[in-house]
Structure 1
Amino acid sequence: MTAIDLTLQGAEVLLPEGLAEGPLALSGGQIADAPVGREVDLRGYMILPGIVDIHGDAFEKHLAPRRGAMKDLDQGLVAAEAEIASNGISTSVLAQFYSWEGGMRGPEFAGRVLIGLDEVRGSLMTDLRVQLRFEICMLDAYGDFEALALRHGVDYVVFNDHLPHDELAKGKRPPRLTGQALRIGKNPEKHLADLQAWHAAMDQVPAAVDALARSLRDKGVAMGSHDDRSHADRDTWRERGARIAEFPETLEAGEAAHAGGDPVILGAPNVVRGGSHKGNVSALEMVAMGYCTALASDYHYPSMRRAAFLLADGGVMDLAEAWGLISSGPAGILGLDDRGVLTPGKRADLIVMEPATRRICATMSQGRFSYLSGEVAARFMG
């Protein structure tokens, strides 16, 4: 689909300095500095920068709507993109596990997702990207993981450790182990033995992570850590080149990231809910303290725009700054300096929104419609 040359008239446009009335011109997939093409009357609506979702895994339900139903991943990705676009997201980073947890989080499934995305990406309007989330206990998988990431051009890797170390260290059987094993078609006792073996070998992990991080850093791959709990955690990952702090669990870890100049990603659902469902530090508190660089959808795409308006309505920050947490902030972390704001020369990634309901009426990615609905559709087609 070719980008459309248009001049959008009459709407309130969210610029870096705030809302302003005036025309917004689109030409060749970019924001133009002068009127061009056909005029579209958007009086009564708002135009905001397209949302950049730096970490979202809600796409999983489209790939496997029922347990074991994991075929035709390309069609699942097409359906996921439709939901993503309808929520105003013009750039989406799919957070895909590469984990001992198996099933949809296992290495084999990660490979299938990357292949499927390679097949459909060119036919979709949304800029779909991938973050691979690597479980660091998997010592035998380091080589395969790096080869997979490089083969598919993955440019963002996050390091995770979801082993139930506390229970394993006490010789206890982790909760939900049997159900987890059966869900991925594995004997529960074999699964427990594997967890115990990975836990016992954790002393070998730091050297392995050091080597992998060094190799990825040399290849220009952005790296982050997940669920940091302490100042020491963040310092260790920073030294490895994993500068992005994803969902720090404590205020101490968030402060350490901020003090070290590391981008901090927090969950938009945490902001909307007013606190973490796991009892971790409140994202709303972290945002208010200035420790947040970007908000991510995590598991719920609509939460991103809801969080931005909640922050603006609550006086935590003005709308331009709040919206920046879901547009220019994440774009900057990813090195995507061509988007995130509605200024001449940037990509024409934008949302048309109904102010009263804050419902998304249209989403454009690089000047192409990825979503269009209702009265706004009639205005564009008139």
Structure 2
Amino acid sequence: MIPLELTMTGAEVLLPGQGLSRTELFIADGVVQSDRAGRQVDLSGYLVLPGIIDLHGDGFERHIAPRRGAMKQMAEGILSVEAELAANGITTAVLAQFHSWEGGVRGPEFAGQVFDAIVSVRDDVVTDLIPQLRFETHMLDDYEGLAARIAGWQVPYVVLNDHLPHDRLAQGRKPPRLTGQALKAGRNPDAHFELLQSMHARRAEVPAALDTLCADLVNRGIRLGSHDDSTAQTRAEWRERGVMISEFPESLEAAEAAKAAGDHIILGSPNVVRGGSHKGNASAVDLIAMGLCDALASDYHYPSPRRAALMLAKSGLLDLARAWEMVSSGPARVLGLEDRGILHPGKRADLAILDAKTYRVAATLSGGRVSYMSGDIAMRFLS
């Protein structure tokens, strides 16, 4: 597909350092241009904003495995994911795939299938899809050869997390929902409980294993993040291993420690939209107000980045330019993507075009190519 060559007029455009202004925007060859290009399109009544960069989302699970056993058309599932991403103004998306003891769609075998499917459809999608591996740190038997497998899967970003219910396991008690979790993993509930207990029992071996794994991944140039940091000490331990991204810190203490050290802080857009964490952790709105956020991610809900940015602006906590940075140039900096995130000559023509009255996504362009368009705006482009 050849990128569009257009001169967009009449719209309010969010330019770096200027906020919204009624100005012309030129795109050609997949990038923003400094001079007029192609034919003119009147976008009066619309806002043209930098495309959303979603740096952590696992909302794609329902597309690739809509129900247990329905996992046969992985590539078709990824194409369906892209359609939802584009409809929500997302032009670059990190697909966060688990490598977990939870099994099923979060199991190690399934992870490899997902990464292979992403590679297989890259030439068929417009949205830039970036794979992320979320590795459960207590899976000690899976460490050997993992860094090489990650490189083979073409995964540039790894997040390390521990979702074992340690408090319960330390008491010898079964965690809630164990039976349902076991069935999803294809295990007998008693065998599943024994697996959790065995990983918990070997927890003292994990730090040394992580030291080796992280050093290998850093040497391979792979970006590393930690998930749900709870304390300043936890964040410091991750930083010593070269893990410079703090995803969804659970406490003010952890977020402040990350900020003080210059680490990147990612918060969840649903936390903003809901007005707080569904798990009772630190409020994203409060952390943003204190300057403790570099970027917002969709987490589990793709409409949330756009909604969160608009809510932050409407509330007056941030102006629109700063709020939108949380879902565009902020994520670009975290991911080291210097070619996108702002509408400036030479940058990728990644655009989220919103209806100025409803703020709904009317069209999305990624690299100057249309990934989504709906309603009356189509006539503007076609006429």
TM-score range, shorter chain: over 0.9
Q: Which amino acid aligns with 1:377?
A: A
Output the CA distance in 1 between the equivalents of 2:67 and 2:192: 23
* 1:237-256 map, 5 Å: 237-256=238-257
Q: Deviations over 1:121-155 (max 9, x none)?
A: 11100000111000010111012432221002211
SS at match of 1:125: coil
Please name the residue that 2:320 is paired with. Answer: 319
Q: How far apart are residue 87 of structure 1 and its match?
A: 0.2
Output the CA distance in 2 between the equivalents of 1:312 and 1:91: 22
Q: Which amino acid aligns with 1:249?
A: E
1:23 aligns with 2:24: yes
SS at match of 2:376: helix
SS at match of 2:169: helix
Q: How far apart are residue 306 of structure 1 and its match?
A: 0.7
Output the CA distance in 2 between the equivalents of 1:37 and 1:177: 59
SS at match of 1:77: helix
Please name the residue that 2:283 is paired with. Answer: 282
Output the CA distance in 1 between the equivalents of 2:145 and 2:8: 49
Output the CA distance in 1 between the equivalents of 2:62 and 2:149: 23
SS at match of 1:143: coil
Q: How far apart are residue 351 of structure 1 and its match?
A: 1.2
Structure 1 segments, 4+ long, off by >3 Å, are none
Please name the residue that 1:6 is paired with. Answer: 6
Contact 2:112-2:153 at 8 Å conserved across structures: no
Q: Which amino acid aligns with 1:15?
A: L
Please name the residue that 1:202 is paired with. Answer: 203
Please name the residue that 2:69 is paired with. Answer: 68
Output the CA distance in 2 between the equivalents of 1:181 and 1:337: 43
Output the CA distance in 2 between the equivalents of 1:143 and 1:340: 37
* 1:1-382 map, 5 Å: 1-17=1-17, 18-382=19-383
SS at match of 2:250: coil
Q: Which amino acid aligns with 2:279?
A: K
Q: CA RMSD in A?
A: 0.7
Q: Which amino acid aligns with 1:13?
A: V
Output the CA distance in 2 between the equivalents of 1:319 and 1:178: 46
Q: How far apart are residue 360 of structure 1 and its match?
A: 0.5
Q: Which amino acid aligns with 2:16?
A: P
**Bigger CA drift: 263-272 or 135-144?**
135-144
Output the CA distance in 1 between the equivalents of 2:99 and 2:147: 11
Q: Which amino acid aligns with 1:207?
A: A
Gaps spanning 5+ residues in structure 2: where?
none
Q: Deviations over 1:83-136 (max 9, x none)?
A: 000000000000100001100000000000011111111110000011100001
Q: Which amino acid aligns with 1:356?
A: K
Normalised by the length of structure 1, the TM-score is 0.99
Contact 2:43-2:380 at 8 Å conserved across structures: yes
Output the CA distance in 2 between the equivalents of 1:367 and 1:343: 13
Q: How far apart are residue 44 of structure 1 and its match?
A: 1.1
Output the CA distance in 2 between the equivalents of 1:175 and 1:58: 23
Output the CA distance in 2 between the equivalents of 1:160 and 1:145: 15
Percent of matched pairs sharing the same residue = 58
Output the CA distance in 2 between the equivalents of 1:348 and 1:33: 12
Q: Which amino acid aligns with 1:187?
A: N
Output the CA distance in 2 between the equivalents of 1:195 and 1:314: 44
Output the CA distance in 2 between the equivalents of 1:269 and 1:338: 27
Gaps spanning 5+ residues in structure 1: where?
none
Output the CA distance in 1 between the equivalents of 2:54 and 2:116: 21
Q: How far apart are residue 233 of structure 1 and its match?
A: 0.4
Output the CA distance in 2 between the equivalents of 1:109 and 1:62: 14
Normalised by the length of structure 2, the TM-score is 0.99
Output the CA distance in 1 between the equivalents of 2:122 and 2:94: 13
SS at match of 1:374: coil
Q: How far apart are residue 182 of structure 1 and its match?
A: 1.4
Contact 2:49-2:351 at 8 Å conserved across structures: yes
Output the CA distance in 1 between the equivalents of 2:125 and 2:41: 24
